[in-house]
Amino acid sequence: MSWIWYSSHLGDVPGGIEECLQIEWCKTRARAHRWCEECKLLKAEMDRVKCTLKHNANLWLSHAKSAAEGTALNNTDEGAGAYAKCQAAIRTLIRLSFEEKWQYVGQWLELSEIGETSVGNKDVLATG
């Protein structure tokens, strides 16, 4: 528990002020918990985006392979294969671009985990 719940009345200050402080403390703590949850969701969403892009690139590569194994009678196989390879390359480049842009997000999320420990730890809240 935070010190705010154990503090005695604030002297000549009306009791409503103390209640307002306690309410603000609760709202701030709730915001901190929501932020920690958002950080967890961000990491999961980033992982899903990278996984999806990798899967889509592999899917397009399999389309290209299927087109390459097609019969010579179908004149569209070569074009379909080239298109599929292009789409696979696009997905791969997007994924690599995201990985480059997100390279430091893991470190930032580690900082949020330190904050989450502080938010969830009763002893830390009681002292600070």
CA atoms of 7 and 18, how far apart (whole Å): 9
In the prediction, which pLDDT does 128 show? 39
Does pTM top 0.75 for this prediction?
Answer: no
DSSP assignment of 21-39 equals HHHHHHHHHHHHHHHHHHH
Inter-residue contact 116 to 37 (CB < 8 Å) = no
When pLDDT is averaged across residues 89-111 and rounded to a whole number, the result is 92
When pLDDT is averaged across residues 95-111 and rounded to a whole number, the result is 90
When pLDDT is averaged across residues 33-57 and rounded to a whole number, the result is 93
Q: To the nearest whole number, what is the mean pLDDT of the chain?
A: 81
More confident residue, 61 or 107: 61
Residues 20-42: b if buried by 16+ CB within 10 A, e if exposed:
eeeeeeeeeeeebeeebeebeee
> Which of 52-56, 81-85, 108-112 is least confident?
108-112
In the prediction, which pLDDT does 57 show? 97
**pLDDT for residue 126 is more than 80:** no
More confident residue, 32 or 14: 32
> Which of 29-33, 73-77, 104-108, 115-119 is least confident?
115-119
